[in-house]
Amino acid sequence: MRVMVFVKATEGSEKGLTPTPEALAAFAAMDAFNEELVKAGVFVAAAGLKPSIEAKRIVFEDAKRTVVDGPFAEARELVAGFSIWEVKDMDEAVAWAKRCPNPMPGRSEIEIRPFFEAADLAGFVTPEELSAPRSGERGKLGVA
């Protein structure tokens, strides 16, 4: 199963990157952890996100679209980074997450959410739409 692992933002992460000794040590620890994930065949992708001051939100209301510029309130509701892991089940994802170095100074949170997989969508789309994409193509739903 594939899961997305969200690192929740903090007030500190919303201030942006500052190359302090602590921040450099945290980056090194996260790099080492990601290397463990790669060696175990769990790692699919990961990235950190810039603070919400550089973000935009698109608010949908029927046919209307409104663009809202960051920064956004409530840092704890924002995502500071993500990883995608391929794991056997949610228990394995939790076990890996518990091994992760603390992604932020002080209290921080990681959220793990499973992807919808093809089997989950069987009642909503045709088998053709669920079929694996051909070389160089993406399926209609981006589901492999």
Within its chain, how far is the Cα of 7 from the centroid?
A: 7
Q: Name the domain count of the chain.
A: 1
This prediction has a pTM of 0.80
CATH number at residue 108: 3.30.70.1060
Distance CA 77, CA 75 (A): 5
Q: 10 Å Cβ neighbour count for 142?
A: 9
Parent domain of 66: 2-115
Could you tell me if residue 80 is inside a domain? yes
Query: Tens place of pLDDT for every residue, the chain, 144 residues?
Result: 999 999 999 888 898 888 888 888 988 999 999 999 999 999 999 999 999 999 999 999 999 999 999 998 877 789 999 999 999 999 999 999 999 999 888 888 999 999 998 888 888 877 777 675 644 454 555 555
- Hey, is 35 helix, strand or coil? helix
